[in-house]
């Protein structure tokens, strides 16, 4: 069975990480903080897209079927 990834929101420390990134916008700093970037931003964003992207594809299909049926009825 295909299970959807759990998305429980973005960590509260994410905005602080982004503020620090803006203050230290250089490769050396980012390389030393890469694990934090993955944990606070990238992985939650990927989980969000995987979880809700599937719902969006399903919704588009449902709307297309409804629209086609309505067009045939008119």
Residues 1-45: pLDDT tens digits?
456 568 889 999 999 999 999 999 999 999 999 999 999 999 988
Per the structure, the count of domains in the chain is 1
Q: Is residue 36 assigned to a domain? A: yes
Q: Is residue 1 assigned to a domain? A: no
Question: What local confidence, expressed as pLDDT, does residue 3 receive?
Answer: 64
Q: Is residue 6 assigned to a domain? A: no
Question: What local confidence, expressed as pLDDT, does residue 73 receive?
Answer: 60
Of 4, 13, 10, 74, residue with least CA distance to 43: 10
Q: Is residue 47 assigned to a domain? A: yes
Task: Sort 37 into a burial class: Cβ within 10 Å, 0-12 / 13-18 / 19+.
Answer: middle
Predicted TM-score (pTM) of the model is 0.66
Q: Is residue 9 assigned to a domain? A: no
At 65, list the tokens: 């079927």
45: three-class secondary structure by DSSP: helix
Q: Is residue 44 assigned to a domain? A: yes
**For the residues 56-72, what does the mean pLDDT come to?**
67
Residues spanned by the domain of 47: 14-73
At 25, list the tokens: 């916008």
Q: Is residue 7 assigned to a domain? A: no
Q: State how far the Cα of 69 lies from the Cα of 24, in Å rounded to an integer.
A: 55
């Amino acid at each position: 069975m295909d299970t959807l990834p759990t998305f429980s929101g973005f960590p509260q420390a994410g905005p602080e990480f982004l503020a620090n990134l803006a203050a230290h916008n250089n490769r050396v700093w980012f390389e030393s903080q890469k694990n934090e970037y993955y944990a606070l931003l990238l992985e939650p964003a990927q989980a969000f897209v995987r979880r809700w992207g599937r719902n969006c594809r399903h919704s588009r299909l449902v709307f297309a079927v409804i629209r086609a049926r309505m067009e045939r009825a008119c």
